[in-house]
Amino acid sequence: MRDSFLIFGQPLIEQAEISEVVDSLENAWLGTGPKVHRFEREFSEYKQLPYAAALNSCTAALHLSCLALNLEPGDEIITTAMTFCSSVNSIIHAGATPVLADIDPATANIDPAEIERKITPRTRGIMVVHYAGRMCRMDEIMRIAAKHNLRVIEDCAHAIESTYKGQGSGHFGDLACYSFYATKNVVTGEGGMALSKHKSLIDRIKIMGLHGMSADAWARFSDAGFKHYQVVDHGFKYNMMDLQAAIGIHQLERVEENWKKRRRIWQQYVDAFSAPDFPAGLELPAPLEPEEAENSRHACHLFTVGVDQNLCGISRDRFLERLTALKIGVGVHYLAIPEHPYYQQRFGWRAEEYPKATAYGRKTLSLPLSPKLDERDVTDVIEAVKEILQTP
């Protein structure tokens, strides 16, 4: 067994990030400043989307994106039953009503047919989540959106490097939200960004992300001299700090390199778990459809397996405990949204009404997949999984 605990989702921080943070500290420019502007510019260049607002989380980006759509009470936004709670909470915070759609169990992504089934006269938009780094069926979803005149927000928290049929994540919807949380593909500790091809939406997000101060307020964070500002709305305090951007700038320089490392580990897992002599019982992530495989890219953010108790003789929760006991850190992405008591009480959602997301959430388990893993770590994960399956 391993000596040390393998922490789930540990980021790979290198000397460049450390030196850049020290530089910020030495220059005593901690808050929003030149490094945030640089990170915004470079991330928007990487994503090939012209307008960007760096914020202190993806949750803030999702919240402000919903606000930017000027939703009214009773307006409905359809999102997936298999996501992190903040996708749903951001819709509620914007004063709208979240409506859940069930998933395609093969990908855990929102099912376009379920979106159509949930459309009502009050539906204003769709918030898609590209689960684990695999993009939703955006061609079908954008057709539905066009037909019903709906806005689209892409929750790209898992999907920085993803493409779908030749187009990058964030290029389909009106707004795209990225996360730089400590376990994500580019990290700043806490952090997020909203991107768009529409200048007006990002202008609105910048105002609402900084107390509702007029656009000139952002210029306060430069050496251009004092600027007066006016408060034009009751906004929020969601701006990113230079200390965070200092990390992000150098993480972004290695985004492709780190993606290749994760993709390699992903393939090692697939090869090991699907080898003929490997004990049965795990459901592996489905490969891309043939029509996608040519020109689509999976960001390889999460390696999720389904624990089939009938096949392997052990429950998912017991599997989690056993891996933890073997010093392998694990995650669950996610318990389905309708399983949480708050949403059940507030919206009357019941798990049985979302059978596919519910079943997925009860069997899923995420194995470590970070560029920080070395060969030994990967072997340890594979051996631990094997041991559990052999002696359930």
> Between residue 38 and residue 77, which ones bind ligand PLP under the rule CB under 6 A?
57-59
Of residues 152 and 314, the one with the C-beta less far from ligand PLP: 152
Q: Are strands 151-155 and 123-129 parallel, antiparallel or unpaired?
A: parallel
Q: Given candidates 181, 269, 273, 319, which one binds ligand PLP under the rule CB under 6 A?
A: 181
Of residues 179 and 312, the one with the C-beta less far from ligand PLP: 179
- In the complex, the smallest distance separating the C-beta of residue 176 from ligand PLP, rounded to whole angstroms, is 12
- In the complex, the smallest distance separating the C-beta of residue 302 from ligand PLP, rounded to whole angstroms, is 9
Of residues 86 and 196, the one with the C-beta less far from ligand PLP: 86
Q: Given candidates 129, 145, 207, 381, which one binds ligand PLP under the rule CB under 6 A?
A: 129
185: nearest Cα among 370, 56, 377, 330: 370
* CA count, 13 A, side-chain hemisphere, 1: 12
Q: Which residues of 4-43 are buried (b: 16+ CB within 10 A; e: fewer)?
A: eebebbbbebeeebeebbeebeeeebeebbebbbbbbebb
Q: Is 155 in the site for ligand PLP (CB under 6 A)?
A: yes
The position carrying tokens 């395609």 is: 104
- Triad 358, 361, 367: Cα angle to 5°: 165
Of residues 97 and 185, the one with the C-beta less far from ligand PLP: 185
What is the amino acid identity at position 98? P
- In the complex, the smallest distance separating the C-beta of residue 294 from ligand PLP, rounded to whole angstroms, is 26
Answer for the pair 198, 58: CB distance below 8 angstroms, yes or no.
Answer: no
> Between residue 80 and residue 119, which ones bind ligand PLP under the rule CB under 6 A?
83-84, 86-87
Q: Which residues of 95-133 are buried (b: 16+ CB within 10 A; e: fewer)?
A: ebbbbbbbbbbebbbbbbebbbeebeeebbbbbbbbbbb
Of residues 29 and 84, the one with the C-beta less far from ligand PLP: 84
- In the complex, the smallest distance separating the C-beta of residue 362 from ligand PLP, rounded to whole angstroms, is 19
Q: Is 162 in the site for ligand PLP (CB under 6 A)?
A: no
Q: How many residues does the chain have?
A: 392
For 87, the token pair is 């996708």
Answer for the pair 141, 172: CB distance below 8 angstroms, yes or no.
Answer: yes
- In the complex, the smallest distance separating the C-beta of residue 179 from ligand PLP, rounded to whole angstroms, is 3
The position carrying tokens 């006269």 is: 121
> Between residue 1 and residue 40, which ones bind ligand PLP under the rule CB under 6 A?
none
Q: Given candidates 168, 192, 209, 281, which one binds ligand PLP under the rule CB under 6 A?
A: 192
Catalytic site includes residue 184 = yes
Phi/psi of residue 77, nearest 5 degrees:
-120, 125
- In the complex, the smallest distance separating the C-beta of residue 257 from ligand PLP, rounded to whole angstroms, is 22
What is the amino acid identity at position 271? D
- In the complex, the smallest distance separating the C-beta of residue 232 from ligand PLP, rounded to whole angstroms, is 26
Decide: residue 288, CB within 10 A, 0-12 exposed, 13-18 middle, 19+ buried.
middle
Q: Given candidates 80, 179, 258, 370, which one binds ligand PLP under the rule CB under 6 A?
A: 179
The count of chain residues that interact with ligand PLP, using the rule CB under 6 A, is 14
Catalytic residue among 35, 47, 184, 261: 184
Of residues 83 and 385, the one with the C-beta less far from ligand PLP: 83
Q: Is 244 in the site for ligand PLP (CB under 6 A)?
A: no
Alpha-carbon distance of 208 to 233, in angstroms, equals 7
Q: Given candidates 47, 63, 151, 158, which one binds ligand PLP under the rule CB under 6 A?
A: 158
Q: Is 296 in the site for ligand PLP (CB under 6 A)?
A: no
User: Applying CB under 6 A, which residues contact ligand PLP?
Assistant: 57-59, 83-84, 86-87, 129, 155, 157-158, 179, 181, 192
- Residues annotated as catalytic are 184
